[in-house]
Amino acid sequence: MIQNLSYDLPGNLELAERIAAEACKDGIMVLAHRVPTLPLEYGTIVPMHYMNPGGGKKVVAAAAPLFATVDENRRFGAGARRAIEASDATVAVLASGSLSHKLVNNELVGDGQWNVVASEFNRQMDLRVLELWRSGRYEEFVRILPEYCTKCSGEGLMADTAMLFGVLGRTCPPRSASASFSNCMI
C-alpha cells in the first residue's frame, strides 16, 4: 500500500527545541531528539511525498506521547504555536489522518476494501464532523473530540487533530483516559 517512498527531509532542530521547551512549560514531557537512525512514519512521509516532493522544506515531525490525553495533545499544540510565533520561520502546520479509523474485518479485505465503510456509525460521525468543519463550527467539534476519538476508533486517539486545534488556539475538554499513539505530524 505505502511503499518505496524515498525521502530526505531536512529538519528544523531550532524550532523543534523551541516547541519542546514551550510544551514543557505546560507540563508536557517533550524531547527534541537528534537520533539520525530513527525513521519518520507514514504520517509524515506520505503528506511530504505530495506536498514537499523535492524535500526542500524543513520538517518537524511530532510523535504523540504514548499515554497522552486529548488535552495534553492540545497543550502540546498550544506550546507549538507559541514556539512558532516566537521564531522567524514561515511554518505550515499539518495534521495527517484524523477521521474515524475503523479498519475492515478480514472477510472484507481485498480489491474492494477501500470502497467499504467498516462501520455505518463511524461513517455517519465522519460526515457530521466534516459538516461541522465546513460550516466553521469548530467549538462544537472540539466538544465532541474526546468521545469521537475513542468511539470512532481514531488512529492515535486523533492526537494530530488535538495538537492542530491547540496550534489554532482552540481548547479541548480535559480527558482522563489514555491510549497508545502513533506518530503524527505538525
Residue ranges of domains in the chain, CATH in brackets = 13-185 (3.40.830.10)
Q: In tens digits, what is the pLDDT along the chain, a chain of 186 residues?
A: 577 777 788 888 899 999 999 999 998 888 888 887 877 777 788 888 888 888 888 999 887 766 788 889 999 999 999 999 999 988 988 887 678 877 777 777 777 666 656 688 988 999 999 999 999 898 899 899 999 988 988 888 888 889 989 998 876 554 333 332 233 333
Which 3 state secondary structure label does DSSP give 121? helix
Concatenate the DSSP letters of all residues of 118-142 into one string: S-HHHHHHHHHHHHHHHTT-HHHHH
pLDDT at 80: 94
- All three cell numbers of 174: 480535559
DSSP bridge pairs for 63: 183
Phi, psi of 133 (to 5 degrees): -65, -45
Q: What is the pTM of this model?
A: 0.80
